[in-house]
Chains A and B, each alone.
Chain A
């Protein structure tokens, strides 16, 4: 089932990917700033954890991006097959997250991880077929 043309389908997927990745990146940064939940809970209790999350500005950016990507997903699912949309957007998000992890979150993304990313990209191309 696909009620959209090539460009509309992949435009929609790309929109979801960008929102998704922005959500992952900002959420990861927010949680890094909040710190380990279990440690925080030992120090400040479960409400300390909740307060830590809710007072973190990056968390709200992440929530906004994830909420928008969720509604984009709802719209996409009514138009395109789940087995096309979800693996495609997930894999592209995965690649974008690799770049984001390296340049935005400053994680060390090794050659092994880039190689894996290329393998995942090959998988996406086959999923289109």
Chain B
């Protein structure tokens, strides 16, 4: 029987923060590089050499490794809310760090997404799923 350990909470935190700040720094770098059009597609390959894009990539890599580790012990539907919260946080960061304008309607949209995600998180997180090896060792009994 597995319980949420400190390490597992840390991994979830890295998932949220890594994806959020990774996207923010990549956006910042891409803003410096300017508009990428179809005729300038080769510039995409050079983008990782921009320092902000590089920092963003390092953060996204730490996100990815934590994501893999988390998916090794939890359902995708359990990890999903964490990553989606990260993306809502990204919109907030876009406003506070990049100075993008976020209208009232968008704020309400962000709130609705947060409520939706919170509602899912409040429900059962692990479900019994049949697999070739039988039931997964960490799943809890769940009413269908």
Q: CA A75 – CA B41 in complex, angstroms?
A: 9
Point out the residues of chain B lying under 8 angstroms from A82, CB to CB.
23-24, 27, 90-91, 94, 98, 100
Nearest chain B CB to A76 CB, angstrom units: 9
Q: CA A116 – CA B115 in complex, angstroms?
A: 8
Are B113 and A124 closer than 8 Å at their CB atoms? Answer: yes
Nearest chain A CB to B141 CB, angstrom units: 12
Q: Mark A88-123, 1 if CB is under 8 A from B, else 0.
A: 011100100110110001111110110111111011
Q: B39: CB under 8 A from chain A?
A: no
Q: CA A115 – CA B144 in complex, angstroms?
A: 17
Chain A contact residues: over half helix, strand or loop, or mixed? helix
Q: Which of B83, B117, B130 contacts A116 (CB 8 A)?
A: B117
Q: B88: CB under 8 A from chain A?
A: yes
B53 (CB) vs chain A CBs: closest residue:
A74
Are A107 and B119 closer than 8 Å at their CB atoms? Answer: no
Point out the residues of chain B lying under 8 angstroms from A89, CB to CB.
87
Q: CA A105 – CA B75 in complex, angstroms?
A: 9
Q: Which of B73, B76, B115, B144 contacts A37 (CB 8 A)?
A: B73
Number of A-B residue pairs having CB atoms within 8 Å of each other in the complex: 183
Interface bin, chain B: 35 or more
Are B36 and A75 closer than 8 Å at their CB atoms? Answer: yes
B79 (CB) vs chain A CBs: closest residue:
A28
Q: CA A112 – CA B88 in complex, angstroms?
A: 21
List A45-93 residues whose CB lies under 8 Å from chain B.
Answer: 53, 66, 70-71, 73-75, 77-79, 81-83, 86-87, 89-91
Q: A31: CB under 8 A from chain B?
A: yes
Q: A11: CB under 8 A from chain B?
A: no
Question: Which of B75, B86, B113: most chain A CB closer than 10 A?
Answer: B113
Are A120 and B116 closer than 8 Å at their CB atoms? Answer: yes
Given contacts A66-B64, A83-B100, A91-B84, contact A127 B76 (CB under 8 A): no
Q: Which of A75, A91, A105 contacts B113 (CB 8 A)?
A: A91
Q: Mark A27-41, 1 if CB is under 8 A from B, else 0.
A: 110011011111110
